């Protein structure tokens, strides 16, 4: 009797040990598929980053990040759960791509069988600093034109509609936005300027959009101060 009991206990213990040994294997099988999803997300991120590097770290729009959306992708990543390509969505093996308003940062989230795998990207710190300095220098050049205009028009600063290459910039080389490589324009994108005529033309406010937001407003200043500010 005692022998039978011992045998049953041994068999029960062996069964438990086999069950414990089997559980990690089943779990790792699911984990392996999720690892494939993560690898697909990393491949997609590589395409997104490559686009950003070619576009001066302005990342693709949300509409572009899908098969046939315009993003260059020699091999579109696959969803191992469906055996098809990865698509935007929230199901397992799908992904969500969300750029910020000015497309200088983004979040790419791959949806796993449980939880998610989040990847992020954005303008490198050194690049932000370099471009912000260039944008400030462009704005200071524009400030010189504004003040030169005032010196030729009875010390009255131009209206906002006159701060253009054809009026304020006539005869000069118009400042270039370091982000677009084209003429700096009035707007709200990074590298754009904002100009406001104040107190009937006796003053003005000039700002430039940086990666950190709008710069401190430039106002009336002497040429000596302007030269010092660019050094």
Residue-wise pLDDT tens digits, 135-144: 999 999 999 9
Quickly list DSSP for the chain: -HHHHHHHHHHHHHHHHHHHHHHHHHHHHHHHHHHHHHHHHHHHHHHHHHHHHHTTS-PPPGGGSSTTSS---SSPPEETTTTEE--BSSSTT-EEEEE-TTSSEEEEEEE-SSSEEEEEEE--HHHHHHHHHHHHHHHHHHHHHHHHHHHHTTT-PPPGGG-STTTTTTTSPPPB-TTTSSB--BSSSTT-EEEEEEGGGTEEEEEEEETTEEPPPB----HHHHHHHH-
pTM of the model: 0.60
State pLDDT tens for residues 63-76.
999 999 999 999 99
Q: How confident is the model at residue 35 (pLDDT cuts 50, 70, 90)?
A: very high
pLDDT of the residue at 77: 97
- The model's pLDDT over 155-188, given as tens digits with 9 standing for 90+, comes to 999 999 999 999 999 999 999 999 888 999 999 9
């Amino acid at each position: 009797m005692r022998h039978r009991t011992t045998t049953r206990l041994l068999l029960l213990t062996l069964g438990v040990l086999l069950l414990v040994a089997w559980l990690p294997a089943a779990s790792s099988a699911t984990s392996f598929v999720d690892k494939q999803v993560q690898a697909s997300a990393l491949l997609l991120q590589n395409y997104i980053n490559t686009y950003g590097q070619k576009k001066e770290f302005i990342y693709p729009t949300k509409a572009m990040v899908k098969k046939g959306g315009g993003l260059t992708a020699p091999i579109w990543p696959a969803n191992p759960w469906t055996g098809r390509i990865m698509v935007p969505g929230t199901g397992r093996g799908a992904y969500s791509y969300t750029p910020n308003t000015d497309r200088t940062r983004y979040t790419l989230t791959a949806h796993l069988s449980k939880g998610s795998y989040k990847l992020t990207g954005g303008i490198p710190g050194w690049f932000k600093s370099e471009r912000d300095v260039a944008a400030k220098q462009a704005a200071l050049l524009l400030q010189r034109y504004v003040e030169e205009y005032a010196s030729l028009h009875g010390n009255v600063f131009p209206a906002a509609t006159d701060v253009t290459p054809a009026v304020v910039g006539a005869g000069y080389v118009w400042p270039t936005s370091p982000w677009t490589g084209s003429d700096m324009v009035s707007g709200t994108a990074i590298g754009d300027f904002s100009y406001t005529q104040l107190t009937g033309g006796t003053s003005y406010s000039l700002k430039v959009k940086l990666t950190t937001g709008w710069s401190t407003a430039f106002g009336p200043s002497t040429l000596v101060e302007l030269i010092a500010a660019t050094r």
